Structure 1
Amino acid sequence: MTTVIRAASAIAAPTDGQAAAVLLAGRASRECLAEARISPDAVGALINVGVYREHNTFEPAVGALVQKEVGINLDYLAHPVPGAAFSFDLMNGACGVLNAVQVAQAMLSTGSTERVLITAADVHPGGRAALDDDYPYADLGAALLLERSATADGGFGPVRTAGSDEASATAGYLPTAGMGAGGRARITVRRDHGFAEQLLDLAVDTAAEYARTEGLDLHRTLVVSSRPTADFAQRLAGRLGLPESSVIAPDAPGGGEGLPHTAAPILGYLRAVGQGLPEDVDQILFVAVGAGPSAVCVSYRPQER
């Protein structure tokens, strides 16, 4: 048994009006399920990893709101097969999707569910990232559907996590003590001096160690990376000794402004499969780095390869 990607989807927020995290995650989820040609009731669990939300909503768990928006098994008494579904938030910034993959692997391996839906949507607390020049991220949503495969061919490898003893390189938070009347429409994103180099060092070390431990040939691997800075892919490729075409750090869909945040691994996967893996590439290596600083690495071998 292995964990495989059944479908993925990503959408940009509309350019007119305010963006809403739940609506973006819900729309991406519905597109993802439509691509997979399965009913929402076939999803056993939903893990939401988005961090930034309009009005800085803290609770209830956004995962539960997305589950309702998508219509995933809302009444398990009326629909007893396949049974009740549940949802929760798992927030670890840019690393969240890959952390959710690790949780999904554990759930799927026990047979407690057949499918797990991961959602990632970030929007500016004011509802329009384009109106805030100091906010670095794009308003967008994405979804990734994972399922159990009966064969051992392909799928995800083990998830590895890493960290640094240095102080946090980047962080986003809401200073509640001084937020004032307009605080629900604002967020503080702090990036320490040298944060880009610190995250790059951690990404290089984590990817190289993963390749060594798991026996991956990086020259036969397409690296899908998070994108803390605009030139991160080029710099990561150079440090790993790879051509720039071997590292993908995606743009926001639809040419939107800002950098992808929690949805970056899903966007990178969509770009990788959309352009087609080169003949000399055997697998994808997902690498995400973010606040903490922390890093997560996992390999993925498409079954059709």
Structure 2
Amino acid sequence: MSMVVKAARTVRPLPSDDAASAVELASRAARDCLAEAGLSPDSVGVLINVGVYRESNTFEPAIAALVQKEVGINLDYLASPMPVAGFSFDLMNGACGVLNAVQVAHALLETGSTERVLITAADAHPGGRAADDDAYPYADLGGALLLERAAEPGCGFGPVHLRSGDGPVGTRGYLNTAAMGTGGRGMITVERDTDRVETLLGLAADAVDEYAATERLDLDRTLLLCTRAAPDFADRLASRLGLDPGSVLAPAAEGADGEPHTAAPIVGYLRARHSSLPEGKDQLLLVTAGAGPSAACVSYRPQDR
């Protein structure tokens, strides 16, 4: 069984918003996905939320449950003409979270547990807006992917490959209880190791090489879409892999302050979908690398190719 993207969207805070909200960003992206697909919220059987940073450092209840409520996904399935239990949960693995969720979604669709899986990824500064904190590296950004079984053979996602390095190293986001005082709900400490980019670069390159060899993926016919561990990460990854720089992209969140974090793979997918693939390219490889350190890869062949 293969799995395809039915719809995908990203959103940023509205100008009228007093503060960024991960719940609202994820919910808006989810609603936009369903509108694009022409489907009702009750058509979603499982919602997986992978966002990390959220307003007021909320940890309970699961953000997925709050998003499910805002979107209206199977809130009272006993009252529905076709009763179906809606299920939602958080899955947190930083930059690799979306690809972890893709792996879980494939298993759920393959077993017939649901007809569609909705993945949401949203990060928001816990104290308001990312633009107001120069030390905070990520954009206030939400994204969503609506996944279903492929109707055409030979298209959609390949298997997800995961790779871990020696750690802990990379990026750590945490509450500094000794320094936060009474403002802890609106603060977060983000530390980045000085060698994290080189570490993540090596891990990502090894993951791509391993994926290409194991899955017999022709990198010359593939457009790589990677996360942005550094502004020049895509160029450095291309050099490490011996690829043309135009074959590796790390799209930024257009118009946003800071880098995309958990929603980065969705940003990359949309960039590829809305632009013509380079000459000779007929498939994508989503590559993520982040805290842990860890990396993940998954191939994707669009349905219209």
TM-score, length-normalised on structure 2? 0.97
Q: Percent identity?
A: 66
Query: What do residues 213-251 of structure 1 show as CA deviations (whole Å, max 9, x unaligned)?
Result: 111111110101111211111211121122222112111
1:265 aligns to 2:280 (yes or no): no
**2:277 corresponding residue in structure 1:** 277
Give 1:170 shift: 1.3
Q: 1:229–1:259: 8 Å Cα contact kept in structure 2?
A: no
Q: Which AA in structure 2 matches 1:173?
A: Y
Query: What do residues 101-152 of structure 1 show as CA deviations (whole Å, max 9, x unaligned)?
Result: 0000000000010100000000001121011100000001000000012443
Q: Which AA in structure 2 matches 1:276?
A: S
Size of the aligned set, in residue pairs, is 304
- Across the aligned residues of Structure 1 and Structure 2, the Cα RMSD in angstroms comes to 1.3
Q: Which AA in structure 2 matches 1:291?
A: A
Give 1:270 shift: 0.1
Q: 1:26–1:70: 8 Å Cα contact kept in structure 2?
A: yes
Q: Say if 1:285 and 1:82 are closer, same or farther in 2 by CA, change over 3 A.
A: farther
CA distance in 2, matches of 1:167, 1:114: 38
**2:217 corresponding residue in structure 1:** 216
CA distance in 2, matches of 1:147, 1:259: 29
Q: 2:152–2:303: 8 Å Cα contact kept in structure 1?
A: no
1:34 aligns to 2:30 (yes or no): no
Give 1:90 shift: 0.2
1:60 aligns to 2:61 (yes or no): yes
Give 1:40 shift: 0.8
CA distance in 1, matches of 2:76, 2:187: 36
**Correspondences of 1:83-122 after superposition (within 5 Å):** 83-122=84-123
Please give the secondary structure, in 2, of the residue aligned with 1:59.
coil
Bigger drift between 214-223 and 261-270 goes to: 214-223
Q: Say if 1:112 and 1:192 are closer, same or farther in 2 by CA, change over 3 A.
A: same
Query: What do residues 36-89 of structure 1 show as CA deviations (whole Å, max 9, x unaligned)?
Result: 111111000000000000110111000000011111111101115261111000
Give 1:14 shift: 2.7
CA distance in 1, matches of 2:108, 2:294: 23
**2:9 corresponding residue in structure 1:** 9
Please give the secondary structure, in 2, of the residue aligned with 1:176.
coil
CA distance in 2, matches of 1:208, 1:187: 35
CA distance in 2, matches of 1:225, 1:185: 30
**1:133 corresponding residue in structure 2:** 134
Provide structure 2 residue ranges, at least 5 long, that are not aligned to the other structure: none
Please give the secondary structure, in 2, of the residue aligned with 1:18.
coil
Instruction: Give every structure 1 segment of 4 or more consecutive aligned residues whose post-TM-superposition deviation is greater than 4 Å.
Output: none
Give 1:177 shift: 4.6
Bigger drift between 256-265 and 274-283 goes to: 274-283
TM-score, length-normalised on structure 1? 0.97
Q: 1:41–1:82: 8 Å Cα contact kept in structure 2?
A: no
Q: 1:42–1:115: 8 Å Cα contact kept in structure 2?
A: yes
Please give the secondary structure, in 1, of the residue aligned with 2:79.
coil
Q: Which AA in structure 2 matches 1:193?
A: T
Give 1:278 shift: 2.9
**Correspondences of 1:124-163 after superposition (within 5 Å):** 124-163=125-164
Q: 1:12–1:252: 8 Å Cα contact kept in structure 2?
A: no
